Amino acid sequence: MSDQAGLAAVLRRVAQLLADDDVDTSWSSYEADDLRDEVGGLLARAEAGPPLSEAEWRLAQYLFLPTGPLQETAISSGWGDEFLELADRADEAI
């Protein structure tokens, strides 16, 4: 069973990290604002209460994949170690 509240907690922290003006998405498939929007939209849906759709769960999985958009951004932005912890928590929630 998926843990929507757990995923929301992880996304909340990721959103905080992405809010830094110096976030580097050059190795990611996203521009910084687009990645912020994607994470922010998923976070808003996860916090809203109604169950996430299957497509939204798949999006969360994609974002947290090894060498996926968030890991590439985390490494180049200096929070790669914290990302690994967040990704483990995201995997548990998903």
- pLDDT, block means (10 residues), the chain with 94 residues: 90 97 94 97 94 96 96 97 97 94
* Nearest-angstrom CA–CA distance, 94 and 11: 12
User: What's the confidence (pLDDT) of residue 2?
Assistant: 78
User: What's the confidence (pLDDT) of residue 1?
Assistant: 56
User: What's the confidence (pLDDT) of residue 49?
Assistant: 82
List, as one string, the DSSP characters of 6-30: HHHHHHHHHHHHHTSTT---TTSSS
User: What's the confidence (pLDDT) of residue 55?
Assistant: 96
* Nearest-angstrom CA–CA distance, 90 and 27: 21
